[in-house]
Structure 1
Amino acid sequence: MASTDYGYGPPAHTAPREHFFPPVLRAPFEGRAWREFGYLVLSLPLATVAFTFAVTVTSLGAGLLVTFLGIPVFAAGLAGLRGFGALERARARALLGLDVAAPEPVRSAPGARNNGVAAWMGGILKSGASWRHLVYALFHFPWAVFGFCVAVTLWVTGWALLLYPLWQWAFPMWGGVEGLQLYGDGTHNFYLDTPFEIAATSAVGLVLTIATPWIMRALTSVDRLFVAGLLGPSRLVTRVVELESDRGVVVDTAAADLRRIERDLHDGAQARLVALAMDLGLAKEKLAKDPEAAARMVDEAHGEVKVALQELRDLARGIHPAVLTDRGLDAALSSVASRCAVPVTVEVDLDRRPAPAIEGIAYFTVSELLQNVSKHARATRASVDVWRSADRLMLQVGDDGRGGADTAAGSGLAGLAERLSAVDGVLAVDSPAGGPTTVTAELPWRG
């Protein structure tokens, strides 16, 4: 039997109880506040150990530089601080939800290949990450002391005052009179015992308890900057790695394009021209004996010449279309849209042309996306929008097809995303099952 709701019990979609309270009131009871409090409390002992170790190693290493022991002491100290940095990154990940990647590994110093220890020490001393760990140990210590004092004082005081009605009875009696009399007439007691005083104390405690999580959040924001800025990978090194990866993508893409051009020439225009030459040779032989057959063969060869010329034009357009060079993106994309299997509206809003390389990438990006629309989308219409946003060139291709496009599916969209990333571009695909599909590409302007 189907159940019937007669209004008894809670509604089916009742919001959780905590949602009735604003975030400012829920903050003291959420796990994030307690995790941040734990982070600030642990910072003091850990920062003290790291600071003491850093100062000791730095002083000892500097003092021993007059001997051969100074360099090994410095290297061992920096290696120890890198290990401490790994602990700090793990602590930030567990308590602050801050995921900072490990810095670049130590690379052996050149010229010391025959001595593994010397190469390792040279790599440690020449690594910028090692010295950033030293800076972290030295400068995080005073901040850790400040954060510990503020967090513990406010957290303990706030909860103590908020819960004052539960423990105020624990004050001892003094000579049979409640509290310690500060004045001879007994008008003032040492502790707060009237209902108004108890309520006011709890109110002050409530304010402190509510405000403390937000203060701790501000304090841990500085800790986040310390960890991310000093214990993570160098931005320069990260950028170099990205550029090396992008260079590999560009080289692979260029090689693939050259192979495609060679294959198209070999299988298309070249094959037709070879066949054309053979047909013309046969026509030449039959010219005297059978002029009519020779004329038919020449006519067929003329048709093959037209097809070969069209293939060469298509191939040249695939390398770099002349209309793009002469008239820009608006005309070039309109030409691409006219060859699409579905009607396409093109809107280009650019005050001037971007860099030629970026313009070419934008053209081929839209061309490939419209080819996907023609082959796979089963759409009835599509649209292309191009505009400039600050120093970025924005492209958006949409269709009303079946959707389901995904860059992670190993399709052509994945390769397109890689080619865009090689020039600091981004490809975003919004294609739910059933459609519609919207693909947005973002490229640097570089005009």
Structure 2
Amino acid sequence: MTTASVLPPPPPTSDPVAPPTALDAAVRPGVRVAAPGRVAGAVAHLAALGVVGPAVFTALLSLLTSGFGLLAALLIGVVVLVVFVYALFAIAWFERARVDGLYGLGLVSLRPRRSAKPGFVGVLHTVWLQAIDPLQWRAVASFAIATVLGLMTLAALSGVAWGAALAVSPIFGWSNTRLFDLVPLEGAAVPVVGAAAVLVGIAAVIGLAILHGVIVRAIFVPSREAQLVEQARTSDTRRAGAVRAAEVERTRIERDLHDGVQPRLVSIGMTLGLAQTKIDDDPEAAKALVAEAHASTKSAITELRQLARGIHASVLEDRGLDAALSALASRSHIPVTLDVRLPRRCGRAAEEAVYFAIAETLTNAAKHSRAAACRVDVRVREDGSLWARIEDDGLGGARVVPGGGLDGIVNRVTAAGGTARIDSPQGGPTTVEVNVPCAS
């Protein structure tokens, strides 16, 4: 299997997975964690985690110890450890969703990491990447801290309940009231101590809720410096992708001109020259040569039109991506099933990147895959990005070669600030997925 996944890595790095700050670069740092509604929600979350959290970590510890204990029975132990890794991922995914739902930080949903390496080695590398994923461990740490704070919150709520019971105990005539079962309380001291316990407990609960908000912001929201570093890194990556895409496009144009249009124009010139020499002695032969040159001129114009369309699709700008893809599918040598659902126009850069990615993928499928059919799906996702998936039923085995068509797709999409993933196992099918921000 050949899998290439590109999520704006730094140019010299071959790791296909986004760095830790990439997912959190757009979070909203100005959220008020001490707002009354969020404090009340945090108290409810912490109380629930105080009950559920210990059971979750007990189960995780059991998986970990069982996995290492069963390593002697290699397959069983490895399977248990893999389950442990993805159980951590599930907890991390839940924690990010919980924190984002509570505080509205704008966190992107956590996604499993995948390796670009093929075969069984790729599977092992995928598990390893997931096991060391810093985003995952930060979320698990947040869940662990929230569990500890949840236990403390339950204790504080118990103190509030005890204080309330103590404050009303004189009404019911309770006797032998003691503070912490040590100091006897009599008379007016009983309701006073009870009321004080209620106030201290409530203050502790509110303080723990605010502390939880401060901690999760520190864990999930990058500092201003980190955001600037990430923006600079992303800008460098996009610039490098744009330069590389321009180089690949220039090479393609030069190749198409050199191998196609240029020889045809030379042939037209030679044919017209030969016709000129025969126009007096053999007019009929000269007419035939002129007719041949005329036909070759039409073919050259068609090739130039196709070349220009590859550089800039005017229908894309005039009528949008849906119409441009319909025209593209009608010209394809392979039957194409289109499923385009676009409620609105996206940015020009996003539409161009997706259009040319689809066009290049269909061209590659027609040239190399021996595919009998191809399917193209295009959507606007909830996060506002333009997503496309192209799948053919060909032989597979496609690889990203520097200067090749797939390399051009990756660089063009990266230049637009998007991501590209190419999956092409031997025997097929070949799947290309691209995702580009509409605002790009």
TM-score (norm 2): 0.49
If asked which structure has higher relative contact order (CA below 8 Å, sep 6+), I would say: 2
Determine which structure has more spread, i.e. the larger CA radius of gyration. Answer: 1
TM-score (norm 1): 0.48
